[in-house]
Structure 1
Amino acid sequence: MFIQWIPELKPDHIRLSPKWFVLRTIPSSLWLHFGAWKKEFILKINDHLPQSIVELPKAMMNHFTIPADLPYEIYLEGNHLHIGPVIALLLAKRNHLTPEYLEKHRGYLINYRMIKGLIYICSLNGINPKNQTVEGFYFDPNAKGKEQWKKGIFPYPGAVFRRIRVYKNAHYDHLITHIERKIFNPHFLDKSKLWDSLSPDPILVKYLPHTKPLNHLQDLNEMLDLYGQVYLKPANSYMGKGISTVKKMRNGYLFTNRHKEKTMIRSFRQASSFLRYLKKGRKYLIQQSVALTFNNRNVDFRVILQKDESQHWDCSGIIARFGRSGRFYTNDVSSIGLGKDALRTIFHLDEEAAAEKEKEIISICTEVCRRLDTIYGPSGDMGIDVAVDQNLRVWILEINSLQHHKMAAYLIDDPHMYARVMSRPLEYAKALAGFRGNA
């Protein structure tokens, strides 16, 4: 479906083909919806107009950008005409939307021919609550290279795919309120929120390593008495930053940081001082160590769960991640592989047993996502870090609501995973905006 701008059409008139009303009475007026924007128009019928064309008054272009050369979908619900989808990708806090930055995110448009509509990239300070518009750059499939991104001022969208952390921001709050909170992912989950959210669930708590706040040395001693070795993690860290291990020794505490640098602490007073130095005023957690090592390399699994047009959780892939020798973090993209292959190799499982374990991992992670949906509102894109210990027990380590999707691009053994991972967010956004194959 395409839009045609008609200069002579009155500002409050819209023209459609009579084919839209073959089995229904032609109304005198229609509410036009474009993203979150809506307005009532007087309906005019053009007998010569194809059903694939909607004629709109050119005066509408004075308010915001509605590109006419994009392919749209359209559906009629009662006397409400919906044109779209209109989807915003909220990717930055400030207007640093350079051509290089925009091009870096073009992978999300890999399936644009199926999505269609107006898809634009914006930043927080591009939101204008007064006019309920957003300044940004829309994707033009008819252009090439960097010319595919064109600047404009757009109406509030029908759905938002959020890729940044947002704290207190009045413009953001206004946006999500006026789009009826059709946004994903609505919340950023740090490590303490993960424990607080899932530990009350009698089923899911079995898959969580014991975690508690690090307030005093006594907290550390209690956890070391239980497990012998624990992790110290900043509640709000990522990519392994700030993480240390602590091992209880006969003559004190052995701290090891992410760079394999070891510090031996022999007295309680020194230990308390060292913890204060380590924390530097940040909130820290103590976590039971459930790490699995293979050939002296830590191994965990990134489970990529996403919603598509069905609006149900589905697994786009499982990636095994191998850390560097002797180090406990596993974010080196040069050392990844298919999850199922790693399960077979590490645990000497046959094809059927590895598939069953993978199925169990997906089931647990799906239940985690459903639980978080009920607490925080619908999400659509999660990277869940999972460990499997020597007894084949599954552990949930971390939830990444702003996961790095390009990890799948480095996976040689499944060349189609990257396309799945990159295309599904906008498939879900389209459905969230109300377009479910209604073209």
Structure 2
Amino acid sequence: MNRLYIKWIPGLKPNQILLPRQVVIPPSVVLHFGAWKKKVHVGISDHQPPDSIGLSVHLKNEVTIPDTLPYEMYTVGKDLHLGPVIALLISIKELTPGLLNEYRKYFANYQEIKGLIYLCSVNGINPRNKTVEGYYYNPQSDGEKAPWTKGIFPYPGVIYKRIWVNKSRLYDDLSVHTDRKIFNPYFFNKWELWELSRSNPLIRDHLPHTKLLDNLQSLKKMLALYGSVYLKPNEGSMGQGIMKLEKTLGGYLFIDRNNRMTFINNEIKAWAFLSRMRKGRKYLIQQSVALMHQNKNVDFRVIMQKDGNQQWACSGVIARYGEDGRFYTNDVSSISLGRDALRTVFQFKDEEAVQKEEEIISICTTACQLIDHKYGPFGDVGIDVTVDPNLKVWLLEINSRHQHTILSYLKDDPQMYSRVLTRPFEFAKSWAGFTKENI
């Protein structure tokens, strides 16, 4: 059944359900709703509407199953699954109206996904009752709080994790009792990613040479090899703390993200300057690889997501142009389709741009499979790459908390934004077992 509704039937006992005549099912099954389950006896009725499942009103005291939502169901042996039940973990503490509103557009294809999808915080997890307090998407709701309805829900079948979570008893309980069906479970740092990636022969040659900034000798060796390097904090994003360092005839030129320059003519003083700048944080030294076009740094953000077949797919490639004269692209001056930028910057013909984009996606797919194997499962990442003047592709960073909103400014492919927001639900639904083969 592609669309199933709940009918509450007062006469049923808590361990009874009622299904229409055309459903073929064992007389006794385990009913699953997310991680909640209960052994029930199945009744068959000619009077039960064909698009419904009859549940006892007594179940309302055990589990929250909103009755205005469309569901799907499938059976495996003596297990009957009703759902899907998907949780978006989007906060540690509060779910503010502003935060909820940010996720409204994620539900553009809800009618294809169906089921109970709720937004929640770590603080909303209740290990004692195996429930989560949050807000579910309710397309039938109206009023100023629409489309959100507050409630307390069972642990889900799949969790889409959008935040960093420190070690937490609440989170660990949720993870264990959902069979660890959490995607994007781990946020790795830059050094972890580099060490993992260099072990793979398919992408090893696409990594900028990188070392830990742990002593002056490492810095001098990297500068001797490349003349200029990037200094990056091992953890963090959005370009915070990044710096460029150039070795000149007279000394060392430091350039920060605001283009402020500091020249130091002595290596001991330069190291002391770096020590103050690091403030005890772990930093990396990285070979400078960059693409400049009309005095703007250009790189590419590749959105890789798992689809309804649970396979990695590219949801879009965009080019990011940095501000004039800046060495990074975190402060974006403009964006375009990646393929258009390849044509513009390298004067590629259409076929050449397509081939280079396919090469980029192939490298990114391998990287996704690698992090899946080591830290996964993942389902939604943004990968930063660049292409140097010699047309070599360089893998710069993998972001498992990448911001989707930048895509809303892309005018040339307005569907990409919606595709990126909604595709993780397709994966979550499939991973929960609600596949075309099962339904």
TM-score, structure 1 as length reference: 0.97
Displacement of 1:181: 1.5
Give distance in 2, aligned partners of 1:398 and 1:350: 28
Partner of 1:364: helix, strand, or coil?
A: helix
Match of 1:101 in 2: 99
Q: Does 1:341 align with 2:334?
A: no
Match of 2:55 in 1: 56
Letter of the aligned partner of 1:101 in structure 2? L
Q: Does 1:208 align with 2:207?
A: yes
CA contact (8 A) 2:35 2:177 kept: yes
Match of 1:7 in 2: 10
Match of 1:139 in 2: 137
Give distance in 1, aligned partners of 2:312 and 2:250: 49
CA contact (8 A) 2:322 2:332 kept: no
Letter of the aligned partner of 1:397 in structure 2? L
Write out per-residue CA displacement over residues 317-345 of structure 1, whole angstroms, 9 at most, x where no aligned residue: 11000000111221345510011111111
Displacement of 1:268: 2.4
Taking a change above 3 Å as real, the CA distance of residues 381 and 79 of structure 1, as seen in their structure-2 partners, is: same
Of residues 190-199 and 108-117 in structure 1, the stretch that sits farther from structure 2 once superposed is 190-199
CA contact (8 A) 1:334 1:410 kept: no
Give distance in 1, aligned partners of 2:262 and 2:372: 41
Give distance in 1, aligned partners of 2:10 and 2:269: 79
Give distance in 1, aligned partners of 2:390 and 2:150: 55
Displacement of 1:50: 2.3
Taking a change above 3 Å as real, the CA distance of residues 246 and 436 of structure 1, as seen in their structure-2 partners, is: same
Match of 1:156 in 2: 155
CA contact (8 A) 1:333 1:407 kept: no
Structure 1 ranges of 4+ moved more than 3 A: none
Partner of 1:122: helix, strand, or coil?
A: strand
**Pairing 1:32-51 to 2, within 5 Å after superposition:** 32-51=31-50
Give distance in 1, aligned partners of 2:109 and 2:418: 8
Q: Percent identity?
A: 55
Write out per-residue CA displacement over residues 105-164 of structure 1, whole angstroms, 9 at most, x where no aligned residue: 111111101000000000001111111111100010112463211111111101011000
Match of 1:421 in 2: 420
Letter of the aligned partner of 1:19 in structure 2? Q
Aligned residue pairs total 434
CA contact (8 A) 1:321 1:332 kept: no
Give distance in 2, aligned partners of 1:200 and 1:77: 40
CA contact (8 A) 2:213 2:285 kept: yes
Match of 1:383 in 2: 382
Letter of the aligned partner of 2:159 in structure 1? V
CA contact (8 A) 2:12 2:55 kept: yes
Give distance in 1, aligned partners of 2:27 and 2:348: 68
Q: Does 1:16 align with 2:15?
A: no
Partner of 1:38: helix, strand, or coil?
A: strand
CA contact (8 A) 2:210 2:287 kept: yes
**Pairing 1:321-332 to 2, within 5 Å after superposition:** 321-332=320-331
Q: Does 1:129 align with 2:140?
A: no
Give distance in 2, aligned partners of 1:104 and 1:421: 14
Letter of the aligned partner of 1:63 in structure 2? E
Match of 1:372 in 2: 371
Partner of 1:335: helix, strand, or coil?
A: strand
Taking a change above 3 Å as real, the CA distance of residues 216 and 117 of structure 1, as seen in their structure-2 partners, is: same
Give distance in 2, aligned partners of 1:162 and 1:31: 28
Of residues 113-122 and 428-437 in structure 1, the stretch that sits farther from structure 2 once superposed is 428-437
Letter of the aligned partner of 1:12 in structure 2? N
**Pairing 1:21-420 to 2, within 5 Å after superposition:** 21=24, 27-94=26-93, 96-144=94-142, 146-420=145-419
Write out per-residue CA displacement over residues 278-325 of structure 1, whole angstroms, 9 at most, x where no aligned residue: 110111000000011111111000001111101111111110000001
Where in structure 2 are there 5+ consecutive unaligned residues?
none
Give distance in 1, aligned partners of 2:188 and 2:163: 12
Displacement of 1:435: 0.6
Where in structure 1 are there 5+ consecutive unaligned residues?
none
Give distance in 2, aligned partners of 1:316 and 1:28: 44
Letter of the aligned partner of 1:435 in structure 2? F
Q: CA RMSD in A?
A: 1.2
